[in-house]
C-alpha cells in the first residue's frame, strides 16, 4: 500500500534530528516540498546534525530555517512565509535521564515550543498537525500491550510529563479551533543516524572500544524496538489519516475534537539481552556487561498495540532487531570509520 501524501507543503520541526532527518527523507520521496525547522541544539554532537542536513539539502524541494521553536517571532515568520499545509512537529528535548538533571530545558522546548506550534496552527491554519509524543506517557501502567485508550496520568519522569502535557494542550486547541491533530507515541526508536545518547549508539561505541556497557535493571528489561524506517513510513501514512468524525475500531478519536493519539511501535516485546545479543552478533564480539540497578524514571517494560496504526494506515512496523541492528552497526562503522 503506497501513501498518497505527495505534493504537499510540509513543515517539519526538529528536521536535523534523528527522526526528523528520516521523516523528511521519506516525505521528499513522496514528492512533498519541505521546510525544516531546527535550532541545532548542542545537546549532542552538532556535526551529526549538520551531516544529516547536508544530505537533505541535496534535494531541490528541501530547505531549512535555523531557528528555535521557542523564538516565536522568528519561527512565526518562517511559518507564515512557507505557508505549510501539513506540520510534523518533532522538535523536543528528549531523554529520560537528562530530564532529571536539566529539567528546565524540557519546559522550554517541549511545553513552550509546542505551545508556539499550536498557536501558529491556530493563526495560520493547516490541514493536519502531527506531533511527537512518547511511549513514556504510559508511565506506571503495567497492562501490556499499551493501547491508546489507557490512562496516562502516572508519568515517571519530567520528560514523560511534558510529553503528556503536550497531548492535553493539543486536544484543547483542536477542540477550540478545529485543527485536526494526531499525536503519535514512539516506542524505542533505533537505526542509522541515531542519537549518541541512545542505548544502541552507546553500546556500539563502547563495545568497539573494548569498554563495558551499562545494562540497567540487571538486564531484566523489555522494549518494543521500532526501526527508524518503519517509524518514518508510519508518520508519512498517518499524514493522510486526518482525524474526522467517524472513529475506527479501537480508536482514540476524541468525542469533541478532530484529535487522536496513535502508537507507533512494532507490537513485539523484545528482551534487552536479546537486543544486546543481536548487537554482539552484528559486531562479531562479545560485550563486557556492567549490570546496574534500574535508572530513576525508567520503566521495566514497554510494548505497543499497533492495531490502531494498522487500521488507519494499512501498515505495521515489522523490522526485527536481527535485521535493524546490523543496519545500524554498518552505518556506525562507515560514518565513524571504525
Catalytically annotated residues: 159
Residue 201 to residue 43: CA distance in whole angstroms: 15
Which three cell numbers, joined as nine digits, stand for 323? 535485521
Helices (H), the chain: 18-29, 46-56, 72-82, 96-101, 103-106, 113-123, 158-177, 199-208, 228-238, 272-283, 307-313, 321-336
DSSP for 3-36, written as a single string: ---TT-EEEEETTTSHHHHHHHHHHHHTT-EEEE
134 — phi, psi (to 5°)? -155, 155
How many helices and strands in the chain, by DSSP H and E? 12, 13
Amino acid at each position: 500500500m503506497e501513501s498518497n501524501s505527495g505534493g504537499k507543503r510540509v513543515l517539519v520541526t526538529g528536521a536535523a534530528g534523528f527522526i526528523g532527518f528520516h521523516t523528511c527523507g521519506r516525505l521528499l520521496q513522496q514528492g512533498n516540498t519541505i521546510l525544516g525547522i531546527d535550532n541545532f541544539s548542542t545537546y549532542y554532537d552538532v556535526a551529526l546534525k549538520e551531516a544529516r542536513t547536508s544530505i537533505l539539502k541535496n534535494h531541490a524541494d528541501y530547505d531549512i530555517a535555523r531557528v528555535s521553536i521557542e523564538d516565536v517571532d522568528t519561527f512565526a515568520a518562517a511559518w507564515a512565509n512557507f505557508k505549510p499545509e501539513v506540520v510534523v512537529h518533532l522538535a523536543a528535548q528528549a531523554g529520560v535521564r537528562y530530564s532529571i538533571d536539566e529539567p528546565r530545558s524540557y519546559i522550554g522546548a517541549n511545553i513552550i515550543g509546542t505551545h508556539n506550534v499550536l498557536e501558529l496552527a491556530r493563526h495560520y491554519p493547516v490541514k493536519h498537525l502531527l506531533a511527537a509524543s512518547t511511549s513514556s506517557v504510559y508511565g506506571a501502567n503495567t497492562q501490556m500491550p499499551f493501547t491508546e485508550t489507557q490512562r496516562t496520568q502516572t508519568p515517571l519522569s519530567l520528560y514523560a510529563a511534558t510529553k503528556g502535557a503536550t497531548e492535553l494542550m493539543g486536544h484543547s486547541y483542536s477542540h477550540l479551533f478545529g485543527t485536526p491533530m494526531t499525536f503519535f507515541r514512539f516506542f524505542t526508536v533505533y537505526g542509522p543516524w541515531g542519537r549518541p545518547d541512545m542505548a544502541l549508539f552507546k553500546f556500539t561505541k563502547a563495545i568497539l572500544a573494548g569498554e563495558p556497557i551499562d545494562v540497567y535493571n540487571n538486564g531484566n528489561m523489555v522494549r518494543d524496538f521500532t526501526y527508524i524506517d518503519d517509524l518514518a513510513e508510519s508518520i508519512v501514512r498517518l499524514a493522510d489519516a486526518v482525524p474526522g468524525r467517524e472513529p475506527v475500531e479501537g480508536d482514540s478519536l476524541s468525542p469533541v475534537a478532530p484529535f487522536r493519539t496513535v502508537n507507533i511501535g512494532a507490537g513485539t516485546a523484545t528482551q534487552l539481552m536479546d537486543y544486546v545479543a543481536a548487537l554482539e552478533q552484528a559486531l562479531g564480539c562479545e560485550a563486557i556487561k556492567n549490570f546496574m540497578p534500574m535508572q530513576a524514571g525508567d520503566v521495566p517494560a514497554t510494548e505497543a498495540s499497533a492495531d490502531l496504526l494498522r487500521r488507519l494506515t494499512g501498515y505495521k512496523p515489522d523490522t526485527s532487531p536481527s535485521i535493524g541492528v546490523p543496519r545500524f552497526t554498518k552505518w556506525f562503522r562507515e560514518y565513524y570509520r571504525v
